[in-house]
Structure 1
Amino acid sequence: MRPGASHAVRKRPPGARLSVGFILARRFTLCAFANFVDVLRLAADEGDRSRPILCNWAVLSDTMDAVASSCGVTVQPKERLGDPARFDYIVVIGGLMDEAPTLGPAYTGFLKRAAEAGVPLVGVCTGAFLLHQAGLLDGYRCCVSWFHHADFLEQFEGLNPVADQIFVVDRDRLTCSGGVSSAHLAAYLVDKHVGRAQANKSLHIMIIDDALQAEKPQPGITLDFRTRDPIVLRALLLMQQNIDTPIPVAEVAKRIGHSKRQLERHFRMALDISPQAAFLQIRLSLAHHLIETSEKSIAQIAVDCGFCDSSHLSRMFRRQFGSTPLALRQQAGLAG
């Protein structure tokens, strides 16, 4: 909660400890919304009776028209936008990236009034994109899905999104990567305002493991690496996001808050390999995949995978796989 904001002045039903207003983008992701709201629902009452006692929530709208999700299921809003200060949090559930999700001026104005009133704002899935479009993430760290990391960088210059954690809490802005991570972010809020027992109860009924901390790595491309070491997983995801412009291992370590020596020790213990060798394997594995499945030239694949040129790629490729990229492409029946 933003310093200076007061819960005492906010109207809520008697007994409620957590009140959440939802804004659904056009073609929002239903899974992210359902996971979030079901944690609130199950924490709000005894058993799964679903009475909004300890928690209450409402889908908000400017027009009160039903909102269609990305899978076609529609949700009927419950209340008009009104005064955002009646809620403890305003949660924006984002939609599909390829449809350039945007919010209308009424919603943007509502979110800005919420920020001015000290109501924390939550961006779920591509909801972080929408908050940034409204000018409400400047100076904040924000979490985006590893799957959309490149899209975020392309659309929003000057920001440093976090794509190696399941959610990020930065003062009065909370963001998560969507999917099941929205349940863990909701559980974080329930734990904070209602109680840890209620948060765990919700997740257990939903057949989700115990609540995960924000720093838990997002799942991503696993390749041949199998480890539960969160430091190694975060480093691998960061490497994956920088395949075309490889960054030094020391910089990888710095970005995830560890020293180079600590990172190397974790890699040796978890994978019996150095971070440098793992990074090279990631790049070569992607190159192998692109050579077999795409029509890109080998020179372009070399650039896309962070190699100086096709000769550099060929040397590393032969060392790893025992053949050249051209030989593999010929075996796959594609032009060189």
Structure 2
Amino acid sequence: MHRIGYLLKDGFQLMSLATLSVFEFANLAAGDDFYEIAHYSLPGGSVRASSGVPVMTVKVTPSTYADTWILGGVLNPIEQPSLPRERAFVRQAAQASRRMAAICTGAYTLAEAGLLAGRRATTHWLYADALQARHPDIQVEGDRIYIVDGSLWTSAGMTAGLDLALAMVEKDLGPDIARRVAHKLVMHQHRSGGQSQHSEMLDLAPKSDRIQTALNYARKNLAQPLTVEVLAEQVHLSPRQFSRIFTEEIGLSPAKAIEGLRLEAARLMIERSRHPMEVIARETGFRDRRHMREVFLRGFGVPPQSLRRDAPPTLSA
């Protein structure tokens, strides 16, 4: 039996409790009640989520134990800092438990308790810079889905908590159970922690039709050479003009943006197909498989093979 304790407080984000479904379906997939779940708070009794939904909790005491503690996030961790009693309990619980996890802005509580000093961590992208500024001794990686540093787990915002919970299931019960849980929950894949919180294709939002036209051309022709000269010709600009305007509107150089588009396209092909890596590299414009691997490590922090391993078999055929 593995006991999971959710530590909640007034104003917590209800999405944090969506991770309960991961552990519930893990029990069903394993055919055994491996996980036992309980809700706790400092005062005990009814705790209200930011949406107003009440959740009954058990009051924590110095002897309260859980193998895994999960801290829910709040809407604004800067305006809702953790209380001294909360920080004291979190420090004590972290010493006694197997692991301590924070979903979304719950990472602020870990940081305020002093547990993330000298460690890697992530949080919702909107609050990552503030977390770094307030706690310069933490290596905040604001563009990661989740990060595991020793016994401390942190995730990005909202649905990233599901990926963190699924990674726990994989660690506890193995990849087969984790894949079955992902399938049951209609999660297209178990995203690895190294993946970006953002989509390059969605983030590129140019101001002018000319740059939009160039990006549309690039997306449709990733397998072709996409030099500044080629893209500039599509919108009837000189390479120098095009490069200047593109960088001003996108905030990235043309080469960096194209690399991001290729990376995103390759990731989708890996997750949704069984094409060999050589084919995926060729179709998305990388020089070869080795070049694609280098870009994946630089962009996602993991090799492309890890995404292939994480994709559910029924969804990647």
TM bin (shorter chain) = 0.5 to 0.7
State the partner residue of 2:49. Answer: 69
1:120 aligns with 2:99: yes
Distance 1:78 1:44, change over 3 A: farther
Q: CA deviation at 1:215?
A: 0.7
2:170 aligns with 191
Matched position secondary structure for 1:45:
helix
Shift of 1:80: 3.0
Unaligned runs of 5+ in 1: 1-15, 226-267, 287-336
Conserved 8 A contact 2:40-2:60:
yes
8 A contact 1:25–1:94 mirrored in 2: no
- 2:90 aligned counterpart, secondary structure: helix
From 160, 183, 190, give the equivalent of 1:181: 160
Asked if 2 retains the 8 angstrom alpha-carbon contact of 1:25 and 1:102, the reply is no
TM-score calculated relative to the size of structure 2:
0.61
Query: Following the alignment from structure 2 to structure 1, what is the Cα–Cα distance between the partners of residues 48 and 183?
Result: 29
Amino acid in the other structure paired with 1:106: R
Whether 2:256 is the aligned partner of 1:272: answer no
Larger helix fraction of residues = 2
1:68-107 mapped onto 2 (5 Å cutoff): 68-78=48-58, 80-84=60-64, 86-97=65-76, 100-107=79-86
Change (3 A) 1:283 1:111: farther
Whether contact under 8 Å (1:25, 1:92) holds in the other structure is no
Amino acid at match of 1:28: F
With over 3 angstroms needed to count, the CA separation of the structure-2 counterparts of 1:283 and 1:38, relative to structure 1, is farther
**In the alignment, which of 114, 127, 147 is matched to residue 135 of structure 1?**
114
2:22 pairs with 1:22: no
The aligned counterpart of 1:310 is none
SS of the residue 1:22 aligns to:
strand
1:289-300 equivalent positions in 2, closer than 5 A: none
Q: Report what 1:162 is aligned to.
A: 141
**2:164 and 2:243 mapped to 1: Cα distance?**
31
CA contact (8 A) 1:41 1:52 kept: no
CA 1:100/1:44 → structure 2, altered by over 3 Å: closer, same or farther?
same
Contact 2:44 2:58 (C-alpha < 8 Å) held by counterparts: yes
The answer to whether the Cα contact below 8 Å between 1:42 and 1:202 also exists between their aligned partners in 2 is yes
Match of residue 284 from structure 1: 249
CA RMSD, 1 decimal: 3.1
**How far off is 1:161 after superposition?**
0.6
Q: Give distance in 2, aligned partners of 1:104 and 1:53.
A: 34
- The 5 A counterparts of 1:202-213 are 202-213=181-192
CA distance in 1, matches of 2:144, 2:224: 19
Conservation of the 8 A alpha-carbon contact between 2:5 and 2:37: yes
Does residue 152 (structure 1) correspond to residue 131 (structure 2)? The answer is: yes
Checking the alignment, whether the CA contact within 8 Å between 1:70 and 1:96 is kept in structure 2 is yes
Distance 1:125-1:283 versus aligned 2 partners, 3 A rule: farther
Counterpart Cα distance in 1 of 2:122 and 2:224:
26
Pair 114,80 (structure 1): closer, same or farther in 2 beyond 3 Å: closer
Secondary structure at the aligned position of 2:45 is classed as: coil
User: What is the match of residue 235 of structure 1?
Assistant: none
Taking a change above 3 Å as real, the CA distance of residues 278 and 121 of structure 1, as seen in their structure-2 partners, is farther
Rounded Cα–Cα distance in structure 2 between residues aligned with 1:94 and 1:185: 14
Within the alignment, does 1:54 sit opposite 2:34 as a pair?
Answer: yes
Sort the Cα spacing of 1:210 and 1:133 in 2 relative to 1 into closer, same or farther, 3 A.
same
Question: How does 1:2-21 map onto structure 2 within 5 Å?
Answer: 16=1, 18-21=2-5
SS in 2 for 1:44: helix
2:33 is aligned with 1:41: no
Whole-angstrom distance in 2 between the partners of 1:279 and 1:121: 47
Structure 1 residue 171 displacement after superposition: 0.7
Secondary structure of 1:272's aligned partner: coil
Aligned residues: 222
- 1:305 is aligned to none
Q: Which amino acid in 1 is paired with 2:110?
A: L
Task: Indicate conservation of the 8 Å contact 1:25/1:103, yes or no.
Answer: no
**C-alpha separation between the residues in 2 aligned to 1:158 and 1:144?**
15
Equivalents in 1 of 2:243, 2:133: separation in Å? 26
Q: Which moved more, 1:53-62 or 1:146-155?
A: 146-155
For residues 39 and 197 of structure 1, the distance between their equivalents in structure 2, rounded to whole angstroms, comes to 14
* Long gaps (5+) in structure 2: 206-221, 229-241, 252-317
Deviation digits for residues 137-188 of structure 1 (CA, Å, limit 9, x no counterpart): 1111001222222222343334331112100001111100121111111111
Give, as a single letter, the amino acid of the residue that structure 2 aligns with 1:143: T
Percentage identity across paired residues of the two chains? 21
The TM-score with structure 1 as length reference comes to 0.58
Deviations 1:99-133 (A, max 9, x none): 62233333222211123335321111001111101
Measure, in 1, the Cα distance between the counterparts of 2:227 and 2:10: 45
